[in-house]
Amino acid sequence: MATALQMPPVRAQVSAAEWALRQDLACAYRLVASLGWDDLNFTHISARVPGEAAFLLNPYDLGFEEITASSLIKLDFNGRVLIDNGMGMNQAGFTIHSALLSGRADVNAVIHLHTIAGTAVSMMACGLLPASQAAASVTHELAYHDYEGIAVDLDERERLIEHMGAANVMILRNHGTLAVGGTIPEAFTRIYFLERACEMQVAALSSVGREGLVTPADAATRQVGEVNDRMGAMVANRIVWPLMRRRMERLDAGFLE
Protein backbone atom coordinates (compact mmCIF):
# COMPACT_ATOMS: atom_id res chain seq x y z
CA MET A 1 0.00 0.00 0.00
CA ALA A 2 1.37 3.41 -0.98
CA THR A 3 1.93 6.05 1.67
CA ALA A 4 0.70 9.34 0.24
CA LEU A 5 1.74 12.75 1.48
CA GLN A 6 -0.99 14.50 3.39
CA MET A 7 -2.57 17.12 1.13
CA PRO A 8 -5.09 19.80 2.13
CA PRO A 9 -8.57 18.49 1.24
CA VAL A 10 -10.28 20.33 -1.62
CA ARG A 11 -13.64 18.57 -1.69
CA ALA A 12 -15.44 21.56 -0.17
CA GLN A 13 -13.99 23.86 -2.86
CA VAL A 14 -15.25 21.96 -5.90
CA SER A 15 -18.51 20.68 -7.39
CA ALA A 16 -19.69 17.12 -6.89
CA ALA A 17 -18.94 16.44 -10.56
CA GLU A 18 -15.37 17.72 -10.21
CA TRP A 19 -14.81 15.70 -7.05
CA ALA A 20 -15.96 12.50 -8.78
CA LEU A 21 -13.66 13.34 -11.71
CA ARG A 22 -10.76 13.95 -9.34
CA GLN A 23 -11.25 10.52 -7.80
CA ASP A 24 -11.30 8.82 -11.21
CA LEU A 25 -8.21 10.74 -12.34
CA ALA A 26 -6.32 9.91 -9.14
CA CYS A 27 -7.33 6.28 -9.67
CA ALA A 28 -5.89 6.40 -13.21
CA TYR A 29 -2.57 7.68 -11.86
CA ARG A 30 -2.42 4.91 -9.25
CA LEU A 31 -3.29 2.30 -11.89
CA VAL A 32 -0.53 3.52 -14.19
CA ALA A 33 1.91 3.21 -11.28
CA SER A 34 0.65 -0.27 -10.41
CA LEU A 35 1.15 -1.39 -14.03
CA GLY A 36 4.72 -0.10 -14.07
CA TRP A 37 3.91 2.51 -16.72
CA ASP A 38 5.03 5.55 -14.75
CA ASP A 39 8.38 7.11 -15.66
CA LEU A 40 9.34 8.54 -12.28
CA ASN A 41 7.00 11.56 -12.43
CA PHE A 42 7.67 12.64 -16.01
CA THR A 43 4.46 11.59 -17.75
CA HIS A 44 0.96 12.85 -17.15
CA ILE A 45 -2.79 12.25 -17.28
CA SER A 46 -5.36 15.03 -17.48
CA ALA A 47 -9.11 15.50 -17.42
CA ARG A 48 -11.37 18.41 -18.37
CA VAL A 49 -13.42 19.85 -15.50
CA PRO A 50 -17.13 19.57 -16.39
CA GLY A 51 -18.72 22.89 -17.32
CA GLU A 52 -15.50 24.90 -16.92
CA ALA A 53 -12.66 26.09 -19.15
CA ALA A 54 -10.22 24.22 -16.92
CA PHE A 55 -8.53 20.86 -16.51
CA LEU A 56 -6.81 18.75 -13.85
CA LEU A 57 -3.17 17.66 -13.98
CA ASN A 58 -0.72 16.05 -11.58
CA PRO A 59 1.56 18.19 -9.42
CA TYR A 60 5.17 17.88 -10.53
CA ASP A 61 6.54 16.86 -7.14
CA LEU A 62 4.44 13.73 -6.51
CA GLY A 63 4.92 10.19 -7.78
CA PHE A 64 1.94 8.57 -9.44
CA GLU A 65 1.50 6.23 -6.48
CA GLU A 66 1.08 9.32 -4.25
CA ILE A 67 -1.60 11.11 -6.28
CA THR A 68 -4.88 11.76 -4.49
CA ALA A 69 -8.09 13.47 -5.53
CA SER A 70 -7.11 16.53 -3.48
CA SER A 71 -3.53 16.76 -4.76
CA LEU A 72 -4.42 17.38 -8.42
CA ILE A 73 -3.74 20.86 -9.79
CA LYS A 74 -6.58 22.75 -11.50
CA LEU A 75 -5.50 24.94 -14.45
CA ASP A 76 -7.10 27.05 -17.11
CA PHE A 77 -5.98 26.77 -20.73
CA ASN A 78 -3.66 29.76 -20.39
CA GLY A 79 -1.70 27.98 -17.67
CA ARG A 80 -3.15 29.95 -14.75
CA VAL A 81 -3.38 27.79 -11.62
CA LEU A 82 -6.89 27.84 -10.16
CA ILE A 83 -6.39 25.33 -7.34
CA ASP A 84 -2.79 24.83 -6.26
CA ASN A 85 -1.00 22.61 -3.77
CA GLY A 86 2.30 24.47 -3.94
CA MET A 87 4.08 21.67 -5.78
CA GLY A 88 4.40 23.14 -9.25
CA MET A 89 3.36 22.10 -12.74
CA ASN A 90 5.10 20.07 -15.44
CA GLN A 91 5.42 22.52 -18.38
CA ALA A 92 5.58 19.73 -20.96
CA GLY A 93 2.44 18.27 -19.43
CA PHE A 94 0.67 21.61 -19.79
CA THR A 95 1.75 21.94 -23.44
CA ILE A 96 0.55 18.49 -24.49
CA HIS A 97 -2.66 18.32 -22.48
CA SER A 98 -3.83 21.89 -23.02
CA ALA A 99 -3.36 21.33 -26.76
CA LEU A 100 -5.48 18.22 -27.07
CA LEU A 101 -8.17 19.26 -24.59
CA SER A 102 -8.59 22.68 -26.20
CA GLY A 103 -8.29 21.37 -29.75
CA ARG A 104 -10.97 18.68 -29.55
CA ALA A 105 -14.35 19.38 -27.94
CA ASP A 106 -15.04 15.63 -27.75
CA VAL A 107 -11.87 14.96 -25.73
CA ASN A 108 -12.20 15.14 -21.95
CA ALA A 109 -9.23 13.01 -20.88
CA VAL A 110 -5.65 12.53 -22.11
CA ILE A 111 -3.06 9.93 -21.05
CA HIS A 112 0.60 10.18 -22.10
CA LEU A 113 3.24 7.54 -21.28
CA HIS A 114 6.96 6.81 -21.82
CA THR A 115 6.96 3.02 -21.42
CA ILE A 116 9.83 0.93 -22.76
CA ALA A 117 7.68 -0.93 -25.31
CA GLY A 118 5.71 2.14 -26.37
CA THR A 119 8.85 4.19 -26.82
CA ALA A 120 10.55 1.31 -28.65
CA VAL A 121 7.72 1.18 -31.21
CA SER A 122 7.84 4.97 -31.50
CA MET A 123 11.47 4.56 -32.66
CA MET A 124 10.59 1.99 -35.35
CA ALA A 125 10.24 3.24 -38.92
CA CYS A 126 7.35 0.80 -39.43
CA GLY A 127 5.41 2.22 -36.48
CA LEU A 128 2.73 0.00 -34.98
CA LEU A 129 1.95 -2.97 -37.20
CA PRO A 130 -1.64 -4.37 -37.29
CA ALA A 131 -0.29 -7.84 -36.53
CA SER A 132 -2.18 -8.56 -33.27
CA GLN A 133 -5.79 -8.19 -32.19
CA ALA A 134 -4.69 -5.54 -29.70
CA ALA A 135 -3.01 -3.58 -32.49
CA ALA A 136 -6.00 -3.93 -34.81
CA SER A 137 -8.20 -2.41 -32.10
CA VAL A 138 -6.23 0.86 -32.26
CA THR A 139 -4.43 1.14 -35.62
CA HIS A 140 -7.58 2.36 -37.40
CA GLU A 141 -7.59 5.43 -35.13
CA LEU A 142 -3.83 5.94 -34.75
CA ALA A 143 -1.91 9.13 -35.49
CA TYR A 144 1.80 10.03 -35.39
CA HIS A 145 3.63 13.17 -34.27
CA ASP A 146 7.32 13.72 -35.00
CA TYR A 147 9.71 14.44 -32.16
CA GLU A 148 10.50 18.11 -31.49
CA GLY A 149 12.38 17.75 -28.21
CA ILE A 150 10.91 18.25 -24.73
CA ALA A 151 7.46 19.78 -25.21
CA VAL A 152 8.01 23.15 -23.55
CA ASP A 153 7.38 25.24 -26.69
CA LEU A 154 3.72 26.26 -26.76
CA ASP A 155 3.91 26.57 -30.55
CA GLU A 156 4.04 22.76 -30.68
CA ARG A 157 0.40 22.67 -29.57
CA GLU A 158 -0.79 23.62 -33.06
CA ARG A 159 1.10 20.72 -34.60
CA LEU A 160 -0.10 18.26 -31.97
CA ILE A 161 -3.71 19.24 -32.71
CA GLU A 162 -3.12 19.03 -36.48
CA HIS A 163 -1.43 15.63 -36.35
CA MET A 164 -3.99 14.18 -33.92
CA GLY A 165 -6.88 15.17 -36.17
CA ALA A 166 -9.85 12.93 -35.38
CA ALA A 167 -7.67 10.05 -34.10
CA ASN A 168 -7.91 8.79 -30.53
CA VAL A 169 -4.46 7.27 -30.06
CA MET A 170 -1.09 8.67 -31.03
CA ILE A 171 2.51 7.54 -31.19
CA LEU A 172 4.85 10.41 -30.39
CA ARG A 173 7.93 9.51 -32.43
CA ASN A 174 11.06 8.80 -30.34
CA HIS A 175 9.02 9.74 -27.26
CA GLY A 176 6.08 7.54 -26.24
CA THR A 177 2.37 6.90 -26.52
CA LEU A 178 -0.80 8.90 -25.98
CA ALA A 179 -4.55 8.27 -25.88
CA VAL A 180 -7.60 10.50 -25.56
CA GLY A 181 -11.22 9.85 -24.72
CA GLY A 182 -14.56 11.37 -23.93
CA THR A 183 -14.04 9.95 -20.44
CA ILE A 184 -11.11 8.77 -18.33
CA PRO A 185 -12.26 5.14 -18.77
CA GLU A 186 -12.17 5.50 -22.56
CA ALA A 187 -8.69 7.05 -22.59
CA PHE A 188 -7.41 4.42 -20.13
CA THR A 189 -8.80 1.51 -22.16
CA ARG A 190 -7.29 2.88 -25.37
CA ILE A 191 -3.85 3.38 -23.84
CA TYR A 192 -4.05 -0.11 -22.33
CA PHE A 193 -4.55 -1.75 -25.73
CA LEU A 194 -2.02 0.54 -27.42
CA GLU A 195 0.56 -0.42 -24.81
CA ARG A 196 -0.29 -4.12 -25.04
CA ALA A 197 0.04 -3.96 -28.82
CA CYS A 198 3.46 -2.32 -28.50
CA GLU A 199 4.60 -4.96 -25.99
CA MET A 200 3.44 -7.74 -28.33
CA GLN A 201 5.19 -6.17 -31.32
CA VAL A 202 8.49 -5.75 -29.46
CA ALA A 203 8.30 -9.36 -28.24
CA ALA A 204 7.46 -10.74 -31.69
CA LEU A 205 10.08 -8.74 -33.57
CA SER A 206 12.69 -9.70 -30.98
CA SER A 207 11.82 -13.35 -31.53
CA VAL A 208 11.18 -13.82 -35.24
CA GLY A 209 11.85 -10.46 -36.92
CA ARG A 210 9.43 -8.70 -39.22
CA GLU A 211 9.77 -11.35 -41.93
CA GLY A 212 8.51 -13.98 -39.49
CA LEU A 213 5.28 -12.17 -38.58
CA VAL A 214 1.90 -13.48 -39.72
CA THR A 215 -0.21 -10.47 -40.74
CA PRO A 216 -4.01 -10.80 -40.53
CA ALA A 217 -6.15 -10.24 -43.59
CA ASP A 218 -7.24 -6.63 -44.11
CA ALA A 219 -10.89 -7.65 -43.70
CA ALA A 220 -10.18 -9.15 -40.29
CA THR A 221 -8.30 -6.04 -39.16
CA ARG A 222 -11.15 -3.81 -40.36
CA GLN A 223 -13.67 -5.95 -38.49
CA VAL A 224 -11.76 -5.52 -35.23
CA GLY A 225 -11.75 -1.75 -35.70
CA GLU A 226 -15.46 -1.69 -36.49
CA VAL A 227 -16.34 -3.73 -33.40
CA ASN A 228 -14.14 -1.47 -31.30
CA ASP A 229 -15.83 1.65 -32.68
CA ARG A 230 -19.26 0.19 -32.01
CA MET A 231 -18.68 -1.20 -28.53
CA GLY A 232 -15.51 0.44 -27.22
CA ALA A 233 -17.09 3.24 -25.18
CA MET A 234 -19.59 0.89 -23.52
CA VAL A 235 -16.89 -1.65 -22.68
CA ALA A 236 -14.59 1.05 -21.28
CA ASN A 237 -17.19 2.84 -19.16
CA ARG A 238 -19.33 -0.06 -17.98
CA ILE A 239 -16.93 -3.00 -17.79
CA VAL A 240 -13.24 -2.04 -17.77
CA TRP A 241 -13.36 1.01 -15.51
CA PRO A 242 -15.57 -0.42 -12.73
CA LEU A 243 -13.20 -3.39 -12.65
CA MET A 244 -10.16 -1.11 -12.45
CA ARG A 245 -11.71 1.07 -9.73
CA ARG A 246 -12.52 -1.99 -7.62
CA ARG A 247 -8.99 -3.30 -8.12
CA MET A 248 -7.36 -0.04 -7.06
CA GLU A 249 -9.67 0.43 -4.09
CA ARG A 250 -8.60 -3.03 -2.90
CA LEU A 251 -4.92 -2.23 -3.41
CA ASP A 252 -4.94 1.28 -1.95
CA ALA A 253 -8.04 3.44 -1.48
CA GLY A 254 -5.94 6.43 -0.42
CA PHE A 255 -6.40 8.02 -3.85
CA LEU A 256 -10.03 8.80 -2.95
CA GLU A 257 -9.12 11.54 -0.45
Say which CATH number the domain at 62 has.
Answer: 3.40.225.10
Given a contact cutoff of 8 angstroms between Cβ atoms, the answer to whether 88 and 59 are in contact is: yes
Residue 255 lies in a domain: no
The pLDDT assigned to 90 comes to: 85
Residue 6 lies in a domain: no
pLDDT per residue over 111-158, tens digit each? 999 999 999 999 999 999 999 999 999 999 999 999 999 999 999 999
What is the band of 85 on the pLDDT scale with cuts at 50, 70, 90?
confident
State how many domains the chain has.
1
Which residue pairs, CB below 8 angstroms and at least 24 apart, start in 6-15? 7/68, 7/70, 7/71, 7/85, 7/257, 8/70, 8/85, 9/70, 9/257, 10/69, 10/70, 10/83, 11/69, 11/70, 13/83, 14/74, 14/83, 15/50, 15/51
For residue 1, pLDDT over 80 is answered with no
| Of 21, 22, 19, 65, nearest in space to 41 by CA | 65
pLDDT per residue over 50-80, tens digit each? 999 999 999 988 999 999 999 999 999 999 9
For residue 3, pLDDT over 60 is answered with no
What is the band of 84 on the pLDDT scale with cuts at 50, 70, 90?
confident
Using CA atoms of 218, 223, 225, 226 in order, give the dihedral in degrees to the nearest 10. 140
Residue 256 lies in a domain: no
What is the band of 5 on the pLDDT scale with cuts at 50, 70, 90?
low
Using CA atoms of 200, 101, 249, 35 in order, give the dihedral in degrees to the nearest 10. 20
The pLDDT assigned to 24 comes to: 98
- Provide the percentage of residues in the chain whose pLDDT is more than 90: 91
Residue 158 lies in a domain: yes
Residue 5 lies in a domain: no
The pLDDT assigned to 2 comes to: 42
The pLDDT assigned to 87 comes to: 77
Domain of 208, in residue numbers: 11-250
Residue 227 lies in a domain: yes
The better pLDDT of the pair 61, 107 is held by 107
Residue 4 lies in a domain: no
Residue 246 lies in a domain: yes
